[in-house]
C-alpha cells in the first residue's frame, strides 16, 4: 500500500509536470499581458510537429529538437502577434476568444494539410525508455526528465521575470502601459518578446508531451481543456500558481484513477470545482 502510494505520488507529480509544461506559456501570456490566447495549444502542436519532423526526416536526436521546437513556435507567434493578435490587445475578452479560437481551427486544418491526419510516431531514444525501481517505487526515466525540465523552466521564468531588467519592464508595461511608454520603455517590443516566450514555452511543452500523449492534428484542441484548468486553478499571472495547480491536479488525477478507477477522469474536475469555490481567483490569484 505504501509503495503504491509512493508510485502514485511520483507518477502524479510527473503527470502534473507534463500539464505544467503544456500550460506555463499560457500563464505567461494570459497573466502578463491579459491576452486570452486559446491558440496556445496550436503552438504546442507546432512544437510537436517540429520535433517529429526533425527526428523522423532529418534524423536529429530528440534532445536537439527541443530548442528547435521552442524557436519555431516563438518565431511563428511573433509573426501572428504582429499581424493579428496585437490589434486585439485592447479588445474585449470575447473578441480575443473568437479570434484565437479561429486560429486554432486554421492550425488544425493546416496541420492536417501538411502532415496528414495520421497519428505521428514518436520514438524516444533508448535512454528515456524503461525505468528503475527504488524502495519499491517504479521511477520511469522519461518522467524524471519531465520533472527536471519543469523545475528548470520554473526557476528560469521566476528569476527572469522577477529579477531581470527585462522582467521589470514587462511588469511595468502590464501594470500601466502609458506610464511605461512615458518612461521610454518600448512596450510593443516587450509585449512581442513576452508573447514569443509564452508561445515558445508552448512549443517546448508540446514537443515534450507528444512522447506521452501522441500527436495528430487534434492536439491543439485535445489539451486546451487541461491547460485552461491548470491556469485557472493556479491563478492568472502566477508561475508558482500554475506549478502548484499542475501538481495538485496531476496527483489527484493519477490517485483517482489508481484507487477509484470507477471515478475515472472525474476527479480532476471535482478538484477544479472545489478549488475555485474556495478561491475563485485560483490558488495564487491576486484578482
Partner 1 sequence: MSKLFIAASSLAAALAAAAPAYSQGTIKIGLIMSYSGQFADPAAQMDNAVKLYVKQHGDTVAGKKLEFIRKDTGGIAPPLAKRLAQELVVRDKVDIIAGLVLTPNALAVGDVSAEAKKFTVIMNAATAIITTKSPYMARTSTTLPQLNETFGTWAAKKAGVKKVYTMVSDYGPGHDAEGAFQRGFKEAGGEIVGSVRMPVANPDFSAFVQRAKDINPEAIYVFIPGGTQPSALGRALAERGVDTAKTKIFGMGELTEDEARKTMGDASLGIVTVYHYDHNHQSAMNREFVKAYNAEYNRNPNIYAVGGWDGMHLIYETLKKTKGNTDGDALIAAAKGMKWESPRGPISIDPETRDIVQTVYIRRVEKVGGQLLNVEFDKVENVKDPFKARMKK
Which residues form the interface with partner 1 (CB under 8 A)?
4, 7-8, 11, 15, 18, 109, 112, 116-124, 129-131, 138, 140, 142-143, 211-218, 222-223, 226, 253-255, 257-258, 261-262, 264-265
* Residue 15 or 191 with smaller CB distance to partner 1: 15
Name which of 81 and 216 has its Cβ closer to partner 1: 216
| Residue 151, all three cell numbers | 523545475
Nearest distance, CB of residue 178 and partner 1, angstroms: 43
CA distance 19 to 52: 20
- Nearest distance in Å: CB 260, partner 1: 10
**In the complex, minimum distance from the CB of residue 177 to partner 1, in angstroms, rounded to a whole number:** 38
CB of 67 or CB of 125, closer to partner 1: 125
We find the least distance from the C-beta atom of residue 7 to partner 1, in angstroms, to be 6
DSSP run (H or E) holding 134: strand 131-134
Nearer to partner 1, 157 or 228 (CB): 228
Per-position DSSP letters for 28-75, written without gaps between them: HHHHHH----TTHHHHHHHHHHHHHHHHHHH---HHHHHHHHHHHHHH
Residues 17, 246: contact at Cβ < 8 Å?
yes
For residue 255, the minimal CB distance to partner 1 (Å) is 8
Chain length of the chain: 287
The grid cell for 238 is: 502566477
Phi, psi of 123 (to 5 degrees): -100, 110
Amino acid at each position: 500500500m505504501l509503495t503504491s502510494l509512493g508510485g502514485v505520488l511520483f507518477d502524479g507529480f510527473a503527470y502534473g509536470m507534463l500539464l505544467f509544461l503544456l500550460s506555463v506559456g499560457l500563464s505567461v501570456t494570459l497573466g502578463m499581458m491579459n491576452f486570452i490566447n486559446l491558440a496556445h495549444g496550436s503552438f504546442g502542436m507546432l512544437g510537436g510537429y517540429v520535433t517529429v519532423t526533425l527526428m523522423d526526416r532529418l534524423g536529429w536526436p530528440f534532445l536537439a529538437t527541443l530548442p528547435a521546437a521552442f524557436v519555431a513556435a516563438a518565431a511563428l507567434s511573433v509573426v501572428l502577434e504582429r499581424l493579428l493578435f496585437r490589434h486585439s490587445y485592447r479588445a474585449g475578452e470575447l473578441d480575443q476568444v473568437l479570434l484565437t479560437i479561429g486560429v486554432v481551427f486554421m492550425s488544425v486544418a493546416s496541420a492536417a494539410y501538411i502532415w496528414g491526419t495520421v497519428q505521428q510516431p514518436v520514438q524516444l531514444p533508448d535512454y528515456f525508455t524503461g525505468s528503475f525501481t527504488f524502495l519499491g517505487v517504479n521511477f520511469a526515466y522519461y518522467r524524471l526528465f519531465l520533472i527536471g525540465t519543469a523545475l528548470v523552466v520554473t526557476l528560469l521564468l521566476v528569476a527572469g521575470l522577477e529579477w531581470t531588467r527585462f522582467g521589470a519592464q514587462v511588469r511595468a508595461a502590464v501594470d500601466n502601459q502609458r506610464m511605461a511608454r512615458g518612461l521610454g520603455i518600448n512596450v510593443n517590443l516587450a509585449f512581442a518578446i513576452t508573447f514569443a516566450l509564452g508561445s515558445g514555452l508552448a512549443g517546448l511543452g508540446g514537443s515534450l508531451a507528444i512522447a506521452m500523449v501522441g500527436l495528430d492534428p487534434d492536439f491543439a484542441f485535445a489539451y486546451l481543456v487541461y491547460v485552461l484548468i491548470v491556469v485557472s486553478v493556479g491563478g492568472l499571472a502566477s508561475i508558482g500558481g500554475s506549478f502548484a495547480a499542475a501538481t495538485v491536479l496531476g496527483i489527484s488525477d493519477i490517485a483517482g484513477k489508481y484507487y477509484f478507477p470507477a471515478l475515472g477522469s472525474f476527479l480532476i474536475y471535482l478538484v477544479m470545482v472545489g478549488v475555485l469555490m474556495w478561491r475563485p481567483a485560483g490558488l495564487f490569484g491576486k484578482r
